[in-house]
Amino acid sequence: MKKHKQDIHRITANTRRMIKIIALGLLLTGITAAGICICHDAMYGQAGSGSASSEPAALQPASAESAAGEGVTVADAEFQDLTDAVSSFKETTARTSAAGTTAGLPSDTAQAVISETASAGTRVPVMNGDAPDLTGYIVVIDPGHQLYSNNEQEAMAPAGMGVEGTKEKCSSGTSGVSTKRPEYEVNLEVGLMLCSYLESLGCEVHMTRTTDDVDLSNIDRADIAHSYATDYYIRLHCDGSDNASARGIGVFVTSLGDNASLQTELGDILGNCLAESTGAVFRGTNAGTTYSGLNWTYDIPGCILEMGFMTNPEEDELLSDPAYQQQICAGIADFLATLPQS
């Protein structure tokens, strides 16, 4: 089992050079991939936001393709290059605090959460069919929002990253137009189910919160992710819009750091796996610098996953349906199985 990470990840200057070397080697040896979205059925042979939504404040469908229900894919031939790039990304991440480190050690608040989550009870979903073996993977799940919002301001990104300004520590989130449930409640419900499911597949899982009544800022949550040798950091959210017909799954990543394009490609893989497992529309992956919780973890593969629109009556009901929640968990697990272990 991998050691608990005491210091902060930091990308070294060798990352891009290593990726180029790997890519060149792949071209010379003629390695290709069977497909970019290695999802549940393909891998195991089984048949057949609105302004109050989440961080960031306003998440809307990614493009005109969203309304048409068209998915987003990445060229098949790029898959092996991508997975090797992820491996290089994580292998070249520094394990010690170095001069110029832009993120601090876990805050007292984050450390308290780390200690509390180990014994938290979770819901165990019942899954049908085969599932991937995730033994050795380490994942941090952040169920977005909390019972009480915190409008105090904090920096949007580490110093020296070129992003100025502040943002509220934790926004309020959206709510269900049909179920009337708050977003933070649904996020946690799915998060606990996901935690149990991934653990049943051998994955080491850490939660930023296991109850709604917490006070965690975006930086606190990032500190928790930095406290482990995290293979992937997934922030669970539900979307909202003034347009009641807006629907679908969205993935949001930071555009900071040397590996921004890699984050986007991973987001596309995740979105396609979820579209496969749930039947939902994948609206695409958006990259930007307004996602403060991801800016603080730019050196860890991760994303905000908008699981659907609570302002769409049909999707709102689905997001509280245990069977649909299980499908979300299955899609995430299939995505994680495509990642190389660090």
SS (H, E, C) 149-181: CEEEEEECCCCCCCCCCEEEEECCCCECCCCCC
Note whether residue 265 is domain-resident.
yes
Instruction: List the one residue out of 9, 230, 236, 208 whose CA is nearest residue 112.
Output: 208
Tell me: pLDDT of 147 over 60. yes
Q: Which residue has the higher pLDDT, 88 or 156?
A: 156
Helix (H, G, I), strand (E, B) or coil at 37: coil
Q: What is the pLDDT of residue 341?
A: 75
Nearest to 187, CA basis, from 47, 22, 54, 42: 54
Residue 235 has pLDDT above 50, yes or no: yes
| The one-letter amino acid at 241 | S
CB 139 within 8 A of CB 336: yes
What is the pLDDT at residue 88? 62
Query: pLDDT for 107-125, tens place per residue?
Result: 565 555 545 544 444 344 4
Does 158 fall in a domain?
yes
Q: Are strands 204-207 and 93-94 parallel, antiparallel or unpaired?
A: unpaired
Return d(Cα 61, Cα 249) in angstroms, integer. Answer: 9
User: Running DSSP on this structure, what letter comes out for residue 306?
Assistant: E
Q: Is residue 3 part of a domain?
A: no
The number of distinct structural domains making up the chain is 1
Residue numbers of the domain that contains 283: 10-336
Residue 237's CATH number: 3.40.630.40
Mean pLDDT, residues 215-228: 98
- Three-class DSSP labels, 222-268: HHHHHCCCCCEEEEEEEECCCCCCCCCEEEEEECCCCCHHHHHHHHH
pLDDT at 108: 61
Q: Please give the mean pLDDT across all residues of the chain.
A: 76
Mean pLDDT of 197-223: 98
Q: Is position 1 within any domain?
A: no
**Residue 2 belongs to a domain:** no
> pTM value?
0.71
In a domain, 341, yes or no: no
Alpha carbons 57 and 61: distance in angstroms, whole number:
13
**Does 4 map to a domain?**
no
- % of the chain at pLDDT higher than 90: 61
- 240 found inside a domain: yes
Question: What sign results for the dihedral spanned by CA atoms 120, 123, 124, 127?
Answer: negative
Q: What are phi and psi of 150, to 5 degrees?
A: -130, 105
Q: Give the pLDDT score at 91.
A: 58
Confidence of residue 25 (pLDDT cuts 50, 70, 90): very low
pLDDT in tens, 49-91: 443 343 433 333 333 333 333 444 444 445 556 656 666 665 5
